[in-house]
Copies of this chain bind each other. A is one copy, B any other.
Amino acid sequence: MPPPTYVFRYGHRANRDHRISTHVGLVARAFGAFGMYYCGDRDEKLEEKIKDVVERWGGSFEVYYVKSWKSFVEKWRGKVVHLTMYGIPLPDVIDKIRRLKKPILVFVGGQKVPGEIYELADYNVSVTLQPHSEVAALAVFLDRLYKGKMLKKAHFENAKIRIIPQEKGKKIVVTK
């Protein structure tokens, strides 16, 4: 089992990034992270949206707002993995990261992350060497970190809604 993993979403802009950051948070939860920190604009709608998913779909994923990303990252009592297309390809480092003994902070930016993060990070990791999406990079990273175990997880603890996989159509079990 890899150590507890948290996500840091850098530089959230409430108007422009609302949906992308929501996807980042939901991906973090669905793929096994324990929580998401974010900086930039405080966005209560973002926090509400994710809380609402946790309330219905279970688990204990939490979202926290952070004022200063830098002092947060510097004080992190664990290792920092920065996802960037300029970093070392995922397959070359994932086994080493999985064996870490301390909590992992997965740092994902949008367009412009500050150059300092490359130095502050213990690992700069690329998920393909092409421009695409922080949402996708995070999902693939966590999927590989947990060796795919979230793909078949039936449900989270205290879930009110559960899906029963179907070849056609939808089957949902709702618990009051």
Residues of A in contact with B (beta carbons under 8 Å apart): 16, 19-20, 23, 26-27, 29-31, 53, 57, 84-92, 115, 118-119, 124, 126-133, 135-140, 143, 148, 150-156, 162-163, 165-172
Contacts and interface: CB of A to CB of B under 8 A. Distances in A.
Contacts of A19: 16, 19-20
Kindly report how many copies of this chain are found in the complex they form together: 2
Across chains A and B, which 7 residue pairs bring their CB atoms closest together, nearest first?
A136-B139, A23-B133, A30-B130, A26-B132, A30-B132, A86-B170, A129-B163
Nearest to A159: B130
Given A20-B20, A139-B139, A167 B132 contact: no
B136 A167 contact: no
Contacts of A170: 84, 86, 118
Contacts of A153: 128-130
Given A88-B167, A140-B140, A169-B118, A57 B151 contact: no
A10 B165 CA distance: 22
A4 to B, nearest CB: 18
A91 B148 contact: yes
Given A26-B131, A29-B130, A57-B130, 14 more contacts: A26-B130, A29-B132, A30-B132, A30-B136, A31-B132, A91-B148, A118-B169, A124-B167, A126-B151, A128-B153, A129-B155, A129-B163, A140-B151, A143-B143
